[in-house]
Structure 1
Amino acid sequence: MEGTGILFTVLLAILLLLNYLKQQWSRRHFPPGPLSLPLIGGVWRINFGIGCTVETPMKLAEQYGDIFTVWGGNIPVVVLSGFEAVKEGLIDHLEDFSDRPQTGFTTLIARGKGVALSNGHTWKQQRRFGVVTLRKLGVGKRSLEGQIEEESQQLVEVFTREKGQPFDPALPLTNSVSNLICALSFGHRFPLEDETFKKLIDALRFTLKFGGSIFLGLYELFPWLMKHLPGPHKKASHVTEMLLSLAKKETQKHKEQKSFQDPRDLIDFYLLEIEKRKNDPTSTYDEENLAQIIHDFFVAGTETSATSLKWAILLLANYPDIQDKAYKEIEDVLCSSSFSYQDLKKLPYTNAVLHEILRLKYPLLFGLPRQTSKDVKMRGFLIPKGTSIVPNVRSALLDPKYWESPKEFNPKHFLDQDGHFVANEAFLAFGAGARVCFGEHLARMEIFIFFVNLLRAFRFQLPPGVKELNEEPAVALSTPPHPYKVCAVPRSSS
Structure 2
Amino acid sequence: MALLLLGVWGILLLLGLWGLLQGCTRSPSLAPRWPPGPRPLPFLGNLHLLGVTQQDRALMELSERYGPMFTIHLGSQKTVVLSGYEVVREALVGTGHELADRPPIPIFQHIQRGGGIFFSSGARWRAGRQFTVRTLQSLGVQQPSMVGKVLQELACLKGQLDSYGGQPLPLALLGWAPCNITFTLLFGQRFDYQDPVFVSLLSLIDQVMVLLGSPGIQLFNTFPRLGAFLRLHRPVLSKIEEEDDPEDMFGEANVLACTLDMVMAGTETTAATLQWAVFLMVKHPHVQGRVQEELDRVLGPGQLPQPEHQRALPYTSAVLHEVQRYITLLPHVPRCTAADIQLGGYLLPKGTPVIPLLTSVLLDKTQWETPSQFNPNHFLDAKGRFMKRGAFLPFSAGRRVCVGKSLARTELFLLFAGLLQRYRLLPPPGLSPADLDLRPAPAFTMRPPAQTLCVVPRS
Identity of aligned residues (%): 37
How do 1:408-487 and structure 2 match up within 5 A? 408-467=373-432, 468=434, 469-487=436-454
Query: After superposition, what is the alpha-carbon deviation per residue over 1:14-65, rounded to whole angstroms, capped at 9, x for unaligned?
Result: xxxxxxxxxxxxx9832222321121111112239xx745522211211221
Query: Structure 1 CA distance, aligned partners of 2:305 and 2:206?
Result: 32
| Residue pairs, 1:182-261, within 5 angstroms | 182-231=183-232, 233-241=233-241
Cα contact 1:354–1:448 (8 A) shared by 2: yes
Q: Which residue of 2 aligns with 1:127?
A: 129
1:385-432: per-residue Cα shift (whole Å, max 9, x none)? 101111111110111111111111111111111111110000001110
Q: CA deviation at 1:237?
A: 1.1
Q: TM-score, normalised by structure 2?
A: 0.87
Amino acid at match of 2:315: Y
Match in the other structure for 1:347 = 313
Give 1:382 deviation, angstroms: 2.0
* CA deviation vs aligned residue, 1:71-107 (integer Å, no higher than 9, x gap): 1222112111111111121111132110011232221
Question: Matches of 2:54 and 2:38 in 1, distance apart?
Answer: 14
State the 1:342 CA deviation. Answer: 1.8
Amino acid at match of 2:403: F
Aligned to 1:372: 337
Counterpart of 2:278, as a letter, is I
1:29 touches 1:383 (CA, 8 Å); kept in 2? yes
For residues 276-302 of structure 1, the C-alpha deviation after alignment (integer angstroms, 9 at most, x for no partner) is xxxxxx972232222111110121121
Tell me the residue number matched to 1:298: 263
In 2, Cα distance between the equivalents of 1:318 and 1:105?
Answer: 36
Verify the 8 A CA contact 2:423 2:455 in the aligned structure 1: yes
Q: Distance in 2 between matches of 1:129 and 1:53?
A: 33
Query: What are the superposed Cα offsets for residues 127-173 of structure 1, whole Å, 9 maximum, x if unpaired?
Result: 12222332332223310111111112211111112211222221x22
Residue type of the partner of 2:448? P
For 1:462 and 1:225, the matched residues in 2 are separated by: 45
Determine helix, strand or coil for the equivalent of 2:72: strand
Letter in 2 for 1:100: R
Shift of 1:331: 1.9
Task: Specify which of 12, 34, 38 is matched with residue 34 of structure 1.
Answer: 38
1:360 corresponds to:
326
Aligned residue type for 1:226: G
Q: Hey, what's the Cα distance between the residues in 2 that align with 1:177 and 1:203?
A: 16
1:237–1:333 Cα change, 3 Å: same
2:272 is equivalent to residue 307 of structure 1: yes
Q: Cα RMSD between the aligned structures?
A: 2.1
Task: Select which of 65, 68, 71 maps to 1:66.
Answer: 68
1:293-329: per-residue Cα shift (whole Å, max 9, x none)? 1110121121111111111111111222211111121
- Which position in structure 1 is the counterpart of 2:6? none
CA contact (8 A) 1:34 1:45 kept: no
Matched AA of 1:33: G
Report if the CA contact (8 A) 2:157-2:177 is conserved.
yes
Whichever residue aligns with residue 294 of structure 1, its letter is: T
Q: 1:35 to 1:210 in 2, by over 3 A?
A: farther
What is the alpha-carbon distance in structure 2 between the residues aligned to residue 38 and residue 295 of structure 1? 37
Q: Distance in 2 between matches of 1:389 and 1:202?
A: 33
Matches within 5 A, 1:312-327: 312-327=277-292
Q: 2:231, 2:109 → 1: CA distance?
A: 19
- Give the 3-state SS of the residue equivalent to 1:453 in structure 2: helix
- The 2-side partners of 1:240 and 1:412 are apart by 43
Separation in 2, partners of 1:79, 1:411: 29
CA distance, structure 1, for counterparts of residue 194 and residue 79 of structure 2: 43
Report the Cα offset of residue 383 of structure 1: 1.5
CA separation in 1, counterparts of 2:143 and 2:384? 28
2:251 counterpart of 1:286: yes
Q: 1:103 to 1:338 in 2, by over 3 A?
A: closer
CA–CA separation in structure 1 for the residues paired with 2:175 and 2:78: 35
User: How many residues are matched?
Assistant: 424
Distance 1:132 1:423, change over 3 A: same
Query: Match for 1:131: what amino acid?
Result: V
Tell me if structure 2 keeps the 8 A contact 1:53–1:475.
no
Q: Contact conserved, 1:326 with 1:349, CA < 8 A, in 2?
A: yes
Q: Distance in 1 between matches of 2:321 and 2:370?
A: 14
Structure 1 unmatched ranges of 5 or more: 1-26, 246-281
TM-score (norm 1): 0.81
Q: Secondary structure at the match of 1:466?
A: coil
Q: Distance in 2 between matches of 1:229 and 1:389?
A: 28
Amino acid in structure 1 at the alignment position of 2:131: F
Q: Spell out structure 1 runs of 4+ moving beyond 6 A.
A: none
The 2-side partners of 1:211 and 1:63 are apart by 30
- Distance change in 2, residues 1:156/1:53 (3 Å): farther
Structure 1 residue 474: Cα displacement: 2.8
State the SS of the aligned residue for 1:377: strand
CA distance in 2, matches of 1:71, 1:104: 17
Matched residue type, 1:168: P
Distance (whole Å) between structure 2 residues aligned to residue 133 and residue 221 of structure 1: 34
| Per-residue deviation, residues 335-385 of structure 1 (Å, max 9, x unmatched) | 442332121122111111111111111212x14211000112222222111
Comparing 331-340 with 393-402, which one deviates more in the overlay?
331-340
Is contact 2:211-2:235 (8 Å) kept? no
Does the 8 Å contact 1:348/1:421 carry over to 2? yes
1:37 alignment partner AA = L
Secondary structure at the aligned position of 2:96 is classed as coil
* Cα distance in 2, alignment partners of residues 325 and 76 from structure 1: 48
* Matches of 1:135 and 1:344, distance apart in 2: 23
